């Protein structure tokens, strides 16, 4: 009996010893299935990390972006979350609040130089960090500005709301364009709050009152929001912009086909425009009175709540934050690198590079979407309100309805933990 115990104890010790020698496996989920360039970069980072130390071995599983969030929710309900999660910036508070994620144990010095939009804070703690950010600009051509006799706006002196509308008037009056302005109404979903809520914020409103996150009353239906709504409706009612039934193909190609004078579009579409027109300009957002604003935060990395090895997960994330990898992602799929030093290493975002302006835009104008677990619902409510207003709904009623729906949702969720 005694010998049995000693023997089994020895066997156990040998077993433990051997696993301690090998690397502990960390699982990671990523949203970019189907994009070969993206997969190559992330696989390279993982291979480098696994070879660089002997404690951890990261294994990746990729999902198509459209199914990614559902997969995470299903896995969380089933208790099957991986160690390292990839999360869309504005969704992170929802997952952190729901207990899917744990704070990311990362030294503050590591991310000190990162663009603000890449850092995912919830409840005062860092939960996620992005290797890149995304930005939106008013895309046009120098020749268009010249032909219409318009001043070229700069970061220091962006167009005012009146100047912007005067520019649209000039473009419309010229008769050279099908529409003066392409807002991108064909891109339903997250594009609406990401791209259009900055207009609302520039007017002085917001999706929800960010001081308390307890109500949208006043923020989304106050005077500023009403002014925004009237302006927004006017874009479509007065024929400046194509409405919600815009053809997705027209959205993708309308600007380079010369059908639109100005296009509100992201850095991911910038290369296409630059390759077509050498004089393509990426102008800062107009200032409607409360400062020029664009959206921020893209996909980020974090640690799942059920991970037994947050230190290992954090070690991998810190490893991935090296400038060379930020630059690799930027060169590969056109994203804005998270640090200025990485930007300097890229083809497009280096100072003087063709898309460097996006880095400056993000640094100067970016504002993250409301940092609240309720954002997931608020984004959908906001999208519907904007679509309805564009289609001619009464502005006050549409915004009131949105406020009521958001407030009901906040109440039903016990204030979302704010």
Partner 1 sequence: MATKLTQSNGAGWAFALPGFGLMVVFIILPFFFAFALSFTNQRLISPNPTAYVGAANYRQLLGVGTITLDPLRDDAGAVQRAADGSPAYPRLREFTRANPDYPQLDGMREWFSFGRGESRTFVLARDVVFMKAIVNTVIFVLVVAPLQGALALGLALLINQRLRGINLFRAIYFMPVVVSIVVVSLLWRFIYSADGGLLNNMLTGLSFGLFTPVDWLGTPSTALGSIIAMSIWQAVGFHMVIWLSGLQTISPTLYEAASIEGATKWQTFRYVTWPGLRNTAVLVLIVITMQAFALFAQIDVMTKGGPLDSTQTIVFQAVDRGYGKQDISGGSAISVILFCIVLTISLIQRYLTRERT
Binding site for partner 1 (CB under 8 A): 70, 73, 76, 94-95, 97-100, 188, 243-247, 249-250, 376-377, 380-381, 387-388, 391-393, 396-397, 400-401, 404, 408-409, 412-414, 417
Task: Please report how close the Cβ of residue 21 comes to partner 1 at its closest, in angstroms.
Answer: 39
Task: Please report how close the Cβ of residue 304 comes to partner 1 at its closest, in angstroms.
Answer: 14
Q: Which is nearer to partner 1, 8 or 188 (CB)?
A: 188
Q: Which is nearer to partner 1, 270 or 395 (CB)?
A: 395
Q: Which is nearer to partner 1, 151 or 412 (CB)?
A: 412
Q: Which is nearer to partner 1, 212 or 275 (CB)?
A: 212
Task: Please report how close the Cβ of residue 106 comes to partner 1 at its closest, in angstroms.
Answer: 24
Taking a C-beta distance cutoff of 8 angstroms, is the pair 385, 403 a contact? no
Task: Please report how close the Cβ of residue 393 comes to partner 1 at its closest, in angstroms.
Answer: 6
Task: Please report how close the Cβ of residue 181 comes to partner 1 at its closest, in angstroms.
Answer: 16
Taking a C-beta distance cutoff of 8 angstroms, is the pair 128, 120 a contact? yes
Task: Please report how close the Cβ of residue 180 comes to partner 1 at its closest, in angstroms.
Answer: 17
Task: Please report how close the Cβ of residue 412 comes to partner 1 at its closest, in angstroms.
Answer: 6
Q: Which is nearer to partner 1, 333 or 376 (CB)?
A: 376
Task: Please report how close the Cβ of residue 11 comes to partner 1 at its closest, in angstroms.
Answer: 42
Cα–Cα distance, 195 to 183 (Å, whole number): 9
């Amino acid at each position: 009996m005694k010998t049995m115990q000693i023997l089994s104890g020895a066997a156990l010790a040998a077993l433990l010893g051997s696993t301690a020698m090998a690397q502990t496996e960390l699982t990671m989920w990523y949203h970019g299935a189907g994009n070969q360039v993206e997969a190559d970069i992330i696989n390279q980072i993982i291979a480098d990390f696994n070879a660089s130390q002997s404690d951890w071995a990261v294994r990746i599983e990729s999902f198509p972006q459209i199914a990614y969030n559902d997969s995470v929710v299903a896995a969380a309900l089933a208790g099957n979350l991986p160690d390292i999660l990839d999360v869309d910036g504005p969704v992170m508070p929802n997952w952190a609040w729901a207990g899917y994620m744990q704070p990311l144990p990362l030294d503050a010095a590591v991310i000190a130089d990162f663009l603000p939009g890449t850092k995912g804070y919830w409840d005062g703690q860092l939960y996620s960090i992005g290797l890149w950010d995304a930005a939106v600009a008013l895309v046009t051509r120098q020749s268009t500005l010249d032909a219409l006799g318009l001043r070229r706006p700069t970061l220091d002196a962006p167009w005012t709301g009146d100047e912007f509308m005067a520019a649209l008037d000039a473009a419309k009056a010229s008769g050279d364009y099908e529409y003066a302005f392409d807002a991108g109404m064909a891109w339903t979903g997250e594009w609406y709050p990401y791209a259009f809520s900055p207009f609302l914020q520039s007017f002085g409103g917001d999706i929800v009152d960010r001081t308390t996150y307890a109500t949208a009353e006043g923020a989304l239906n106050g005077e500023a929001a009403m002014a925004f709504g009237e302006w927004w409706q006017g874009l479509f009612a007065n024929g400046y912009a194509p409405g919600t039934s815009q053809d997705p193909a027209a959205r993708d190609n309308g600007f380079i086909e010369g059908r639109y004078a100005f296009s509100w579009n992201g850095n991911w579409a910038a290369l296409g425009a630059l390759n077509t027109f050498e004089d393509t300009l990426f102008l800062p957002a107009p200032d409607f009175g409360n400062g020029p604003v664009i959206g921020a935060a893209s996909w980020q990395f974090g640690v799942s709540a059920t991970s037994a090895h947050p230190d290992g997960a954090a070690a991998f994330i810190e490893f991935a934050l090296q400038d060379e990898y930020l630059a690799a992602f930027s060169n590969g799929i056109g994203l804005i690198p998270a640090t200025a030093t990485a930007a300097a290493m890229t083809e497009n975002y280096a100072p003087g590079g063709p898309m460097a302006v996006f880095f400056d835009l993000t640094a100067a104008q970016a504002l993250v979407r409301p940092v609240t677990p309720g954002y997931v619902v608020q984004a959908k409510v906001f999208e519907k309100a904007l679509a309805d207003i564009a289609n001619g709904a009464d502005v006050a009623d549409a915004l009131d309805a949105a406020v009521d729906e958001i407030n009901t949702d906040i109440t039903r969720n016990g204030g979302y933990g704010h």
